Amino acid sequence: MFDTALTTADFIFLAKGAGMTIVVTAISVLIGTVLGVIFGVLRYQLGPIWAAPLIFVLDICRSIPLLIQLVLTNAFLGTILRLNLSGFTVACIVLSMYTAAYCAEIVRGGIEAVPATTRRAARSLGMTWGQDMREIVLPLATRIALPSWIGLALGVMKDSALVYVVQVTELLKSTQILITRLQEPMLLLLICGAFYFVISFPLARFGGYLEKRWSND
Amino acid sequence: MNHKFVVGLLAAAAFAAPAQADKLDDIIASGTLRCAVVLDFPPMGMRDENNNPIGFDVDYCNDLAAALGVKAEIVETPFPERIPALMSGRVDVGVASTSDTLERAKTVGMTIPYFAFEMAVTANDKSGVKSFEDMKGKTVGATAGTFEAIALEKQVQEWGEGTFRPYQTQADVFLALSQGQLDATVSTSTVAQSNVKTGNFPGISVVGKAPFDIDYVALFTDRHEYGLLNYLNLFVNQQVRTGRYAELYEKWVGGDLPDLTVSGVYR
Amino acid sequence: MFNYTFQWKQAFARLPQMLDGAAVTMQIAILSMVLGILLAITLTMFRLSGSRILSAIARTWVEVARNTPALFQIYMMHFGLGSFGLHLSPFLSILLGITFNNAGYLAENFRGALKAIPETQTRAARSLGFGAAGAFGYVVLPQMLRIAFLPMTNQMVWAILMTSLGVTVGMNADLYGVVQDLNALTFRTFELFALAAVIFYLITKIITIGARLIAARLFRY
């Protein structure tokens, strides 16, 4: 089984694909998290009625297959607005919004989990809203939200396998290209799957560990 | 005529001027021609052992870029993503073995044909399929979004038995065929022979022709870009006239050169 | 800038075909959920069984399902198994691919839910004369499903969204497959996919609202 036609050049090619997966994921998670925190706080502060447009948009990002979001955004930005964006940019835009949509929910959940009494106590000690958010809500909510956020980041990495539709050659696409040439589907797919697993598994475990540890006190 | 009006006219003229530059100008100005090419469609588009793009379509794009005096950039697009890539401005021209159907011409602009395919039936040796008619009632497939896929799906519906499966790439079709997931496929004869010849897919062979019309394929670009379409038409004509078409055909395919004209009608 | 003419008529003319596709999408999602829940319960019992082999199987399943892309799992189901001579039709490939994924995620949810059910309940049930299976089936399982109801709804939505990956294994009867075929025919990408997006949105909304109604009815007490 390990008698293979895979050359060093092919491994470099795969590594490039893996690099692309990581870069797309890192950018999208970074931007998505910043946006997600802003949206999440807005969502919490404004309440369900004033935040309705925001809720609606974020809800759409969670209710439509990512493939369709990518194809549509690509067609909209490129065909209709005629912006000359690379597939990489489109992939990052869509994945960032996708991340933000889920992250906003996590952030809101985290803020809501901070007991109202604690926050009232903080405000009655003379803290401003900003101080309350920074000194009280942020540390407490982070504890609740971080394990879910790790899960989200890993989810985005796995979902980034779909950006092939906007001509970004990430890991799974590179694997398919090599399968086309070498016709060793099983071996190549296992290498590809192992790569995702090796990154995702330890981080997922770490998230589970944090959740367990922080929920005890 | 008041002062404001003149300023407005001048402003309008200033803004209108750049709009005169069409895509042909844009390509020449940018110094790069971006071609959509399908790279799992040997011998039209494929990759060498260093995973660089090669093939008839790749050379054709390079020739076109050379004629325009710009650099060629090959953008890999799977069959279903060819048009979205063009419509989203990611590529300038499609050199992607695209059949010039009337339905598609409602959306993109097609040139005169630059290549013509005949359709061949490739079957898994164990399936017992020996001709096109034998495919009746079997599991057959083709590459989603291609001329042959559309024709074959229609044929299966006419037969009223058997199943049709479209796969995303030509490679997936041959992979499924060699694994025995498909009994037979219809593809362009050049692609079929090229894939069988590689020996990558054991247990499959070309068993005959499919009685579909000759599949004329065209370069395509934006429907409104008449300047560019005009240039592309002349380019296709020149490729044949100068013998470059025959040369490329010999290099990548070999055998009888397909005629690109239809008798009895202009264009 | 707006050098594009919409042709919505072309998309709307294909609406009946798309709705047929939506029905197939629903069918796949529902079947994959039913199978996924049954498998997840089995995996959960494997973990509780105390047998090292069974719990290793369950753990591997859960970790692979949760730590690799769904697209990869579906592709494996078709071309991976195919290279061993095991041929699944596109429908079965996508159905079992999503089922595999569902079962992995749900088993993890169930495990979390189980932690919330006090051990003493099982003991109480056993001392009332329930067998081990009876105690699990009548006492623990219903509570577990109730606690895990929200994650199950989310998984159902994901199952709907995952059906769009069927095109990679030759599926063209589901909503995404239908739209992709139409796109190849007409090249009206934006109009067709926008319409598909609306249909997907409505389907997921119906599911989440439906689930909320069911929950309100089932979990009144």
Q: What is the pLDDT of residues A107-122, one digit of tens each?
A: 999 999 899 899 999 9
Position A205 in a domain: yes
pLDDT at A17: 93
**A159 neighbors A169 (Cβ within 8 angstroms):** no
Q: Supply the pTM of this predicted model.
A: 0.82
Q: How confident is the model at residue A75 (pLDDT cuts 50, 70, 90)?
A: confident
- Closest chain B C-alpha to A19 CA, distance in angstroms: 17
- List chain A residues with CB under 8 Å of B76: 167, 169
How confident is the model over C65-102, as pLDDT tens digits? 999 999 999 989 998 888 888 889 999 999 999 999 99
B neighbour chains, 3+ CB pairs within 8 Å: A, C
User: What CA–CA distance (Å, rounded) separates C32 from C162?
Assistant: 11
Contact C90 B104 (CB under 8 A): no
Position C1 in a domain: no
Please check the confidence at residue B177 and state whether its pLDDT lies above 60.
Answer: yes
- List chain C residues with CB under 8 Å of A105: none
| Residues 53-112 in A contacting B (C-alpha not used; CB under 8 Å) | 71, 74-75, 77-79, 82-87, 90
Please check the confidence at residue C127 and state whether its pLDDT lies above 80.
Answer: yes
Contact B171 A179 (CB under 8 A): yes
Position C2 in a domain: no
pLDDT at B248: 94
Position C3 in a domain: no
- List chain A residues with CB under 8 Å of B47: 177, 180-181
User: Which of B30, B46, B51 to probe by mutation at the A interface, max A CB count within 10 Å?
Assistant: B51
What is the SS3 string spanning chain B?
A: CCHHHHHHHHHHHHHHHHHCCCHHHHHHHHCEEEEEECCCECCCEEECCCCCEECHHHHHHHHHHHHHCCEEEEEECCHHHHHHHHHCCCCCEEEEEEECCHHHHCCEEEEEEEEEECEEEEEEHHHCCCCCHHHCCCEEEEECCCHHHHHHHHHHHHHCCCEEEEECCHHHHHHHHHHCCCCEEEEEHHHHHHHHHHCCCCCEEEEEECCCCCEEEEEEEECCCHHHHHHHHHHHHHHHHCCHHHHHHHHHCCCCCCCCCCCCCCC
Specify the amino acid at residue A56.
F
| CA-wise closest residue to C3 among B89, B135, A144, A197 | B89
**Count of Cβ atoms closer than 10 Å to residue C2 Cβ:** 8
Sign of CA dihedral C184, C189, C192, C193: positive
How confident is the model over A189-217, as pLDDT tens digits? 899 999 999 989 998 989 888 888 887 55
The answer, for A182 touching chain B at a CB cutoff of 8 Å, is: yes
Partner-chain residue, chosen from A9, A78, A182, that has the shortest CB–CB distance to B90 = A78
User: In which domain, by residue range, is C81 found?
Assistant: 8-218
pLDDT at A59: 92
**B61 neighbors B72 (Cβ within 8 angstroms):** yes
Q: What is the CATH number of the domain that holds C160?
A: 1.10.3720.10
Interval C34-63 mean pLDDT: 93
pLDDT at A1: 40
What is the SS3 string spanning chain C?
A: CCCCCCCHHHHHHCHHHHHHHHHHHHHHHHHHHHHHHHHHHHHHHHHHCCCHHHHHHHHHHHHHHHHCCHHHHHHHHHHHHHCCCCCCCHHHHHHHHHHHHHHHHHHHHHHHHHHCCCHHHHHHHHHCCCCHHHHHHHHHHHHHHHHCHHHHHHHHHHHHHHHHHHHHHCCCCCHHHHHHHHHHHHCCHHHHHHHHHHHHHHHHHHHHHHHHHHHHHHCCC
Contact C187 B87 (CB under 8 A): yes
- Identical fold between B21-116+216-252 and B119-209: yes
- List chain C residues with CB under 8 Å of B79: 184
pLDDT at C163: 94
User: What CA–CA distance (Å, rounded) separates A122 from A116?
Assistant: 10
pLDDT at A183: 75
Sign of CA dihedral A111, A117, A121, A124: positive
pLDDT at A6: 77
What are the sequence ranges of the domains in chain B? 21-116+216-252, 119-209
Q: What is the CATH number of the domain that holds A101?
A: 1.10.3720.10
Position A176 in a domain: yes
- Closest chain B C-alpha to A77 CA, distance in angstroms: 7
pLDDT at A85: 79
| Residues 114-143 in B contacting C (C-alpha not used; CB under 8 Å) | 141
**Count of Cβ atoms closer than 10 Å to residue B107 Cβ:** 19
Please check the confidence at residue B11 and state whether its pLDDT lies above 90.
Answer: no
CA of C80: which chain B residue's CA is closest? Answer: B179
Please check the confidence at residue A82 and state whether its pLDDT lies above 80.
Answer: no
- Closest chain A C-alpha to C218 CA, distance in angstroms: 25
User: What CA–CA distance (Å, rounded) separates A86 from A84?
Assistant: 7
Contact C63 A197 (CB under 8 A): yes
Specify the amino acid at residue C219.
F
Partner-chain residue, chosen from B40, B49, B50, that has the shortest CB–CB distance to A180 = B40
Please check the confidence at residue B72 and state whether its pLDDT lies above 90.
Answer: yes
**Count of Cβ atoms closer than 10 Å to residue B20 Cβ:** 7
pLDDT at B17: 47
The CATH topology of domain B21-116+216-252 is: D-Maltodextrin-Binding Protein; domain 2 (3.40.190)
Q: How confident is the model at residue C161 (pLDDT cuts 50, 70, 90)?
A: very high
- List chain B residues with CB under 8 Å of A83: 89
Tokens of A37: 């925190």
The CATH topology of domain B119-209 is: D-Maltodextrin-Binding Protein; domain 2 (3.40.190)
Q: How confident is the model at residue C134 (pLDDT cuts 50, 70, 90)?
A: confident
User: In which domain, by residue range, is A48 found?
Assistant: 8-111+138-214
Domain count for chain A:
1
Please check the confidence at residue B227 and state whether its pLDDT lies above 80.
Answer: yes
Domain count for chain C:
1
Contact C184 B145 (CB under 8 A): yes
Sign of CA dihedral B251, B66, B237, B89: positive
**Which backbone phi and psi does C50 adopt, to 5 degrees?**
85, -15
Query: CA B147, B150, B155: angle at the middle one, nearest 5?
Result: 120
Interval B182-197 mean pLDDT: 88
Contact A13 B51 (CB under 8 A): yes
- Closest chain C C-alpha to B145 CA, distance in angstroms: 4
Average pLDDT value for chain C: 90
Q: Which whole-number Å values give the CA distances from C188 to A170, A178, A198, B2, in the listed order?
A: 27, 31, 40, 47
- Closest chain C C-alpha to B241 CA, distance in angstroms: 32
Position A132 in a domain: no
Lowest mean pLDDT of A91-95, B152-156, C186-190, name the range: C186-190
For chain A, percent of residues with pLDDT exceeding 90? 49
CA of B199: which chain A residue's CA is closest? Answer: A183
**Which backbone phi and psi does B180 adopt, to 5 degrees?**
90, 10
